[in-house]
Amino acid sequence: MNLEGLPLLTVLIVLPLVGAVVLWALPAGLRERVRTVAVVVTVLELVVGLAALTAFDTAAAATHQLTETHPWIPAIGASYAVGVDGVGLLLVLLSVLLTPLVVLASDRTTAGSADRLRHYLALVLVLEAFMVAVFAARDVFLFYVLFEAMLIPVYFLIGVFGGVQRRYAAVKFLVFSLAGGLIMLVAVIALYLQGPGGPEGFLTTRLTGLEMPVLTERLLFLAFFLAFAIKAPMWPVHTWLPDAAQNATAGTSTLLVGVLDKVGTFGMLTLCLPLFPDASRWAAPVIIVLAVVSVLYGALLAIGQQDLMRLIAYTSVSHFGFIVLGIFAFTSVSVQGSALYMVNHGLSTAALFLTAGFLVSRHGSQRIADYGGLQKVTPVLAGTFLVAGLSALSLPGLSTFVSEFLVLVGTYARSGPAAVVAVIGVVLAALYVLIAYQRVFTGPVRPELAATPDLSGRERWVVAPLIALMVVFGFYPAPMVDLVREPSQGTLQQVGVDDVAPTQGLLVGTGTDDEGSTT
Amino acid sequence: MTSTIATVTAAPLPGAVLPGAVPADGTFTQAWLLIALPLLGAAVLLLAGRRADRWGHWVGVAASAGSFVVGLLLLIGLLGRDAEDRVLDLHLFRWIPTGPLDVDAGLRIDPLSLSFVLLVTFVGTLIHVYSVAYMEHDVDRRRFFAYLNLFVAAMLVLVLADSYLLLFVGWEGVGLASYLLIGFWNQHTPNAVAAKKAFVANRIGDLGLLIALMLMVATFGAVDFDTVLAAAPGAGEGVLTAMGLMLLLAACGKSAQFPLQSWLGDAMAGPTPVSALIHAATMVTAGVYLIVRSGPIFEGAPTAQLVVVIVGAITLLFGAIVGCAKDDIKKALAASTMSQIGYMVLAAGLGPIGYAFAIFHLVTHGFFKAGMFLGAGSVMHGMDDSVDMRRFGGLSRYMKITWLTFAAGWLAIIGFPGLSGYWSKDLIIEAAFTGEGWRPWVFGSAALLGAGLTAFYMSRLFFMTFHGRRRWDDGHGAEQDVAAAPVRHPHEAPLLMVVPMVVLAVGSVALGGLLALGDGFVTWLEPVTGHVEHHEPVLPVWLIIALTMLLVLVGAFLAWRQYAVSTVAVPAPAGSALTRAARRDLHQDAVNDTLLVQPGQYLTRSLVYGDRTVVDGAFTGLGKVLVGAGDAARRVQTGFVRSYASTMTIGLVVLGVVVLATRI
C-alpha cells in the first residue's frame, strides 16, 4: 500500500472526531451497541497509527516526518502544521493504543447508564483527537490551542462521570491547568514577537535558535516550564492530580496520567529545550533538585495512601520526577531514557489504573483497607495487578526498567548526587507496590469478598496487550530506542551541551571506535 | 577490543591475567536453550491455567531436566577445549543501543558460569522431583512449579549473563521468584509479610548494584564483563573502591550477609523445597558469584576487599551464634546457610587465592544444605508440618532413610574428614590464615571458631531431631512425662521425595573428594579466577587442620552430651542473655525497626499530612486571597490592565476559584 500521499496525521486527528459525532448521532436502536462502535473506531485509529509507523523512516527519526503545513490564521502567523519525530510518533502511538483499551474497559457501570456511556465514549474520542494532535503539532500557537482545548473533554470526563467529589476535582484540575496555560499564553505571544513574524511565524522551526535578551529568554522559559510542570505534574504543583485520579473513572485516569500528562514532559523536551537553550541550562540545576524531590516525595506519599487511586497518582508523581530528571540531565542517554519513560510509564500506569478499576468496580470501594486475601479468590486479577505493580517498581524484564535505568545512568554522568539520591526511589517503589499488593490480595479471605468474580474475558483483553507489550519491550526495547536515539541527540545539540564522556573511556578507548570513545 | 584496552592500561595485577572471551560456536550457540526451556515451562504453566493442573508439574520437571541436559552437553564441549579457550561469549541480540552506551544481550559460557548452571539445574531438577510429592495436596501445585521454573530461568540468566546489566535482570528475577515462593501460602499474613521483607531487603542491595552500574557507565562507558573487567586494572582506586563496596552491598542483600541478613530467617515461611533450592543452594549464593565474577574490580580496591572479608567474618559468626539457639529446624538451617555463605564471602574477599575455594564450598554446600533442607521437609512431612525441634526427638527409628541422608549432610557440613565439606571448608580456613599483619590471625581465628560453632549447632540440630527421647506422642502416650505432647505418626516420605534426598546425600559424601582430586575443580576454574601460586599460611597447615578437627570434635561432643544424652526440655529454658539474644537473631529486627521502619513511618505520615495542609493548602489559600483581591479590584475599579493575557489569567483564576469555593 502506498502511504506516501495520505495525510496520515490529519486522518488520525479527524477520525476520532468523526467517531465522536457518530456516537452522539447514533440512532436509538444502536445505542445498546455504543461500545462496539467506539471500539471499531478506535481500533481503526490504531491501524492508521500503525500505518503511520510503517510510513515513518526510522533511520531519520530526528527529522519531522509525515508533515503537513497549511495556513490557518496567517494574520497572526498561525499555521496548521503537523509532523512527528521519533519521540512524537511514539507518543501518538501510545495515545491510539491506550484509547481502545480504555473504551473496551468501560461499561455501563463506569458511566452510570447506557446513554451516559455514549457521552462518555464520545468525550474519550474527542480527547483522543486532541492528544494525537498535540503530540503532532509543529506550530507553537496550534500546540497552545490544543494544550488548552484538551482541558474541555477532561473537565467533563471528571466532573460528570467521576466519583463523590467529582466536581471539586474537575474544577481543581481546570484551575491548575488554566493558571499554567494562561501564563504560557503570555509567553507564546511574547515569543512570537521575538521571532521573525509573518504568516508562518509560529512554526517551531521559525522560533528555534532566536537571539533573545537573557532576561526575556529566562522569563519565557519559566512561563512555559511552569505550565508543563503543572501538567506533568511536578512537586509542589502536583496536588490536583491525586484528587483528579481519586474521583475520575479508571479510564479517564488512564488517559489523563498515561497520556495527557506526558504533554508536560513532551513540552519540556520539544519546546523548552530547543526554544530556550540558554535558559534551560541556566535553570537545570534547580529543576534537577525539584525532580529528585518529586521522585522521593511522590514515592513516600504513595506509601502513605489509603485510597488505591490516589496511591497510583502519587506513584506517577514519582515517575514524572524521573522523566524530568532525565530531560534536564542533558546527556543523550538520560534524554533517551526520559523519552522511553514517557511511553513505558503510559503502559504501566494504564495497566495499574485499569486493573485497579476492575477491582474497584467489583465492590465499589477504593479504600485499600476494604480488601484482603483476594489472591485466592481472583488469581488472574491478582496476577495482573502484581505485574502492573512490578512494572511500576521497574522490575528488569519489564519495559519500565530500561527507561529508568537509562535515566539513572545518564543522570549520574552529569550529576552524581542527583542520581544517587533518586535511586532511593527504587527501594520506595518496592514498598508502595508490595504494601498495596499485600493489603489487597494476601492474608485471610474476607467473607464478604469470597464470591468476587475473577477478570472476565473482556477485561483480560484489556490488560493482556499492555502486559505483552511491557514484556516484549522489556527484553527487546531496541526498536523503541531506535526511534528516540537521534531525536535525543538532536535536542542536546540544540541545547548546546556535549555528552559526558566516560572518564576512563578517554584513557583506554583510544584507537577503538566501538566503545569508550563517545562523543 | 579487549586487546586494545589491555595494551594501553597498566600491567594487570598478578592473578588477573585472564583470557579474553572467544565467540561461541557449535554446541555453544544453543546455550540459550538453558534459559529458554524453564522460561517456556513457566509461561506454559502460568498461561494454561487450571487445565494444566493434572500434568503441569511434570512439565516443570521436564523443563528443568532439559536444561540440565543442555548444561551437560556444554560441559562436555567445554572439557574438550583447551583451558585458555574455555571462555566463550554467545551474542544474542541488540538490547539497548543508545549510542554512547550500547548494551547487547549475550551469554558468557565459562567454567564459572557452567559450574553454576550444573549446580542450579541438577539440584533444581532433584528439588522439582521432590516437590511433585511434597506439594501433592496443594491445589496450587501448578503455580508452584511455574514459579520454580521461573526461578531456574532467572537464576540461569544471572549466572550466564555477559554483562552486569543482564546479570541484574536475572538478579531481580530471582528476587521476584523468591518473593512469589516465600509468599506462596500468602493467605497466612506473616508469610506475605516475610515475602515483602525479603524483596525490600533485596532491593536495598539492588540499589548497590544500580549505583555500581552507574559508576561503570560513567567510568568505562560500558557494562559488559569484557570491557569492564579488562579496563578495571587501569581505573583509579577510588572509583574501584566505590564500585566494589556497591557490589558488596548488592551481595549482602542477595546473600543475606550482615547488615542485610534479617530477611533470610523469615524467608523460611516458604514451602521447604523453596528453602532448599533458593534459600540454601542457589540464589543466596549469587552474592558470592558476583564478587568472584568482579575479581578485577576488587583486586584494584584493597579497602573494598577488606570490607568484604570483614562482612564475611561477621556473618559467619553471626549465623553460627544464631544457629546455636534456634529451635525451629528450618530457621536453624537458615542461620547455618547465612554462616556458610559468610565463609564463602570471606574467601572471595581474600582475592584470587580465595575465589576458587569460595566457589568450591558453594558447590558442596549446595549439595549438603539442599539435602538437609529436603530432610527437614521429610521430617515435617512425617510430623504434620511441625518445625519445633523441641517436639522432635528419637526420629531415627521412624525415618531411617531421612536419618541416614541427613547424617551425610550433617557430617559433610561439620567437616568430617573425607566428606564434601571437609575438602572445601578446610581450604577456606587455610586461606583465611594467609596474609600479613593482623589479618590472618583475626580472620583465621574467626573461621576456626566458626568451624567449632558449626559442629555444635549442626550436631544439636541432628541430635534434637533424630536422637534423644521422643518428645511427642506416637498414639500410645508420650515416652516420658512430656506435658501435652502432640500425637504424631511419623513415617518415611514417598519415593519421589526419598530419591532426591539419597542423590544429594551421595553428593554430600563424595562430591568434595571428587572435585578435590588433583585440585581438579580449582584448576577448572582457573580461566576465570586466574592461576595463583600456593601461599603459606601463618600457621603450619597440619596445625590448622588439627585445630579445626579439635574444635569440631569439641563442638560435636558438647552437643551430643547436651542434646542426645541429657534430656531436652520441651519448653525452652530461659537461657543466658546471649541465648535469648540469639533466639531473637541478635535483635536484628529491633535494630532495623528503630533505625529504619519507625522513622520511615513517621516521615511518611508527616508528609501525607503536610501534603494536604501545607502544599495543597498553599494553593487553596492563594485562591482565597485572589478572590478577595479580585473583589476589591472590581469594586474600586482602579486596576490598570497591562495586557490582555494577564487580565485573562487573573480573571480566569478568580473565576475558577469562585467556582471552586462555591462547589457547583
ipTM of the complex: 0.91
Cell of B234: 587501569
Q: Do A502 and B187 touch (CB under 8 A)?
A: no
pLDDT class for B640, splitting at 50, 70, 90? very low
**Range A358-363 contact pairs with CB under 8 angstroms and sequence separation of 24 or more:** A358/A105, A358/A250, A358/A455, A358/A459, A358/A462, A359/A308, A359/A385, A359/A440, A360/A250, A360/A308, A360/A309, A361/A109, A361/A110, A361/A250, A362/A452, A362/A453, A363/A449, A363/A452
**Does any CB of chain A come closer than 8 Å to the CB of residue B598?**
no
Q: Residue B17 carries which DSSP code?
A: -
Residues 6+ apart with CB under 8 A from B372: B333, B406, B409, B410, B413
A24 domain-assigned: no
Q: Give A7→chain B minimum CA distance, Å.
A: 31
Instruction: Report the C-alpha gap between B258 and B241 in whole angstroms.
Output: 19
A477 domain-assigned: yes
Query: Residue B187: its chain A contacts at CB < 8 A?
Result: 373, 375-376, 442-445
pLDDT greater at residue B4 or residue B230: B230
What is the end-to-end Cα distance of chain B in Å, rounded?
69
Q: Which candidate, B345, B343, B510, places its Cα nearest to that of B425?
A: B343
Q: Could you say which of A300, A401, A519 has the minimum Cβ distance to residue B603?
A: A300
Instruction: Report the C-alpha gap between A388 and A394 in whole angstroms.
Output: 10
The reported pLDDT for the residue numbered A81 is 93
Q: Do B219 and A186 touch (CB under 8 A)?
A: no
**Does any CB of chain A come closer than 8 Å to the CB of residue B132?**
no
Query: Residue B611: its chain A contacts at CB < 8 A?
Result: 239, 301
A516 domain-assigned: no
Contact A333, A489 (CB under 8 A): no
Contact A65, A84 (CB under 8 A): yes
Q: Give the DSSP H or E segment for A66.
A: strand A65-73
> What are the backbone angles phi and psi of residue A201, rounded to the nearest 5°?
-70, -15
Domain that includes residue A436, residue range: 276-504
The reported pLDDT for the residue numbered B2 is 37
Tell whether the model's pLDDT for residue B351 goes beyond 70: yes
The reported pLDDT for the residue numbered B470 is 81
Provide the 3-class DSSP secondary structure of residue A67.
Answer: strand
Tell whether the model's pLDDT for residue B656 goes beyond 60: no
pLDDT class for B5, splitting at 50, 70, 90? very low
Q: Give A140→chain B minimum CA distance, Å.
A: 16
Answer whether the bond into residue B352 is a cis peptide, omega within 30°.
no
Residue B473: Cβ-neighbour burial (10 angstroms; 0-12, 13-18, 19+): middle
Q: Could you say which of B8, B98, B219 has the minimum Cβ distance to residue A333?
A: B98
Beta strands B102-109 and B88-97, pairing class = antiparallel
Q: Do A427 and B207 touch (CB under 8 A)?
A: yes
A302 domain-assigned: yes
Cell of A64: 519531522
Tell whether the model's pLDDT for residue B243 goes beyond 90: yes
**Does any CB of chain B come closer than 8 Å to the CB of residue A219?**
no
Q: Give B48→chain A minimum CA distance, Å.
A: 12
Q: Do B659 and A507 touch (CB under 8 A)?
A: no
* B 416-475 residues inside an 8 A Cβ radius of A: none
Query: Residue A233: its chain B contacts at CB < 8 A?
Result: none
**Does any CB of chain B come closer than 8 Å to the CB of residue A508?**
yes
Which string of b and e fits A247-268 if b means at least 16 CB within 10 Å? bbbbbbbbbbbbbbbbbbbbbb
A358 domain-assigned: yes
Cell of A467: 502486559
Q: Do A332 and B98 touch (CB under 8 A)?
A: yes
What is the chain A residue with the closest CA to B187?
A443
Q: Residue B373: left if φ>0, alpha if ψ -120 to 50, beta else—which one?
A: alpha
Identify the bridge partners of residue B107 per DSSP, sorted by sequence position. Answer: B90, B161
Q: Do B98 and A336 touch (CB under 8 A)?
A: yes
pTM: 0.90
Residue ranges in chain A whose pLDDT is less than 50: 1, 505-519
* A 311-370 residues inside an 8 A Cβ radius of B: 331-333, 336
A95 domain-assigned: no
**Does any CB of chain A come closer than 8 Å to the CB of residue B596?**
no
Q: Residue A28, Cβ neighbours under 10 Å: how many?
A: 7
The reported pLDDT for the residue numbered B1 is 34
**Does any CB of chain A come closer than 8 Å to the CB of residue B480?**
no
Q: Could you say which of A301, A375, A512 has the minimum Cβ distance to residue B607?
A: A301
Query: Residue B201: its chain A contacts at CB < 8 A?
Result: none
Q: Do B604 and A375 touch (CB under 8 A)?
A: no
**Does any CB of chain A come closer than 8 Å to the CB of residue B42?**
no
A83 domain-assigned: no
Instruction: Report the C-alpha gap between A324 and A95 in whole angstroms.
Output: 20
The reported pLDDT for the residue numbered A508 is 40
Instruction: Report the C-alpha gap between B126 and B120 in whole angstroms.
Output: 10
Instruction: Report the C-alpha gap between B570 and B583 in whole angstroms.
Output: 15
Instruction: Report the C-alpha gap between B369 and B264 in whole angstroms.
Output: 15
Chains A, B: CB pairs < 8 Å: 230
Query: Residue B173: its chain A contacts at CB < 8 A?
Result: 396-397
The reported pLDDT for the residue numbered A276 is 93
The reported pLDDT for the residue numbered A518 is 37
Contact A388, A432 (CB under 8 A): no
pLDDT class for B590, splitting at 50, 70, 90? confident
Q: Could you say which of A174, A332, A408 has the minimum Cβ distance to residue B100?
A: A332
Residues 6+ apart with CB under 8 A from B364: B412, B420, B421, B423, B424, B507, B508, B511, B512, B515
Q: Give the DSSP H or E segment for B95.
A: strand B88-97
The reported pLDDT for the residue numbered B512 is 87
Query: Residue A412: its chain B contacts at CB < 8 A?
Result: 214-215, 217-218
**Alpha-carbon torsion angle B320, B323, B324, B327, nearest 10:** 180
Q: Could you say which of B173, B200, B239 has the minimum Cβ distance to residue A430?
A: B200
The reported pLDDT for the residue numbered B365 is 94
Q: Give B449→chain A minimum CA distance, Å.
A: 36
Split into its structural domains, chain A has a count of 1
A482 domain-assigned: yes
Q: Give the DSSP H or E segment for B663.
A: none
Q: Could you say which of B100, B607, B619 has the minimum Cβ distance to residue A239?
A: B619
Instruction: Report the C-alpha gap between A41 and A116 in whole angstroms.
Output: 18
Q: Do B168 and A178 touch (CB under 8 A)?
A: no
Q: Which candidate, B183, B359, B224, B200, places its Cα nearest to that of B288?
A: B359
Longest Cα–Cα distance of chain B, Å, equals 102
* B 233-272 residues inside an 8 A Cβ radius of A: 234-235, 239
What is the chain B residue with the closest CA to A373?
B187
Instruction: Report the C-alpha gap between B642 and B647 in whole angstroms.
Output: 8
Tell whether the model's pLDDT for residue B633 goes beyond 80: no
Tell me the average pLDDT of chain B.
Answer: 86
**Does any CB of chain B come closer than 8 Å to the CB of residue A179?**
yes
**Does any CB of chain B come closer than 8 Å to the CB of residue A511?**
yes
Instruction: Report the C-alpha gap between B653 and A373 in whole angstroms.
Output: 46
Q: Give B613→chain A minimum CA distance, Å.
A: 11
**Does any CB of chain A come closer than 8 Å to the CB of residue B204?**
yes
Q: Do A182 and B623 touch (CB under 8 A)?
A: no
Residues 6+ apart with CB under 8 A from B508: B364, B367, B368, B371, B408, B409, B411, B412, B419, B420, B421
Look at A123-132, B30-39, B284-293, B556-565 and tell me which has the smallest mean pLDDT.
B556-565
The reported pLDDT for the residue numbered A393 is 93
